[in-house]
Amino acid sequence: MKELEKRIQESETRIFKAVFPNTTNHYDTLFGGTAMALMDEVAFIAATRFSRKRVVTVSSDRIDFEKPIPAGTIIELVARVVQIGTKSIKIKVDIIIEQMYSSHREKAITGEFTFVAVDENKKAIPILE
Percent of residues, the chain, with pLDDT higher than 70: 99
How far is it, in rounded angstroms, from Cα 68 to Cα 6? 34
Sorted by where each starts, the structural domains of the chain and their CATH numbers stand as 3-117 (3.10.129.10)
pLDDT tens by residue, 103-124: 999 999 999 999 999 999 999 9
CB 82 within 8 A of CB 112: yes
What is the overall mean pLDDT for the chain?
96
The beta strand positions in 1-129, using DSSP E, are 13-18, 55-60, 64-65, 73-84, 88-99, 105-117
Contacts of 128 (CB under 8 A, 6+ apart): 51, 84
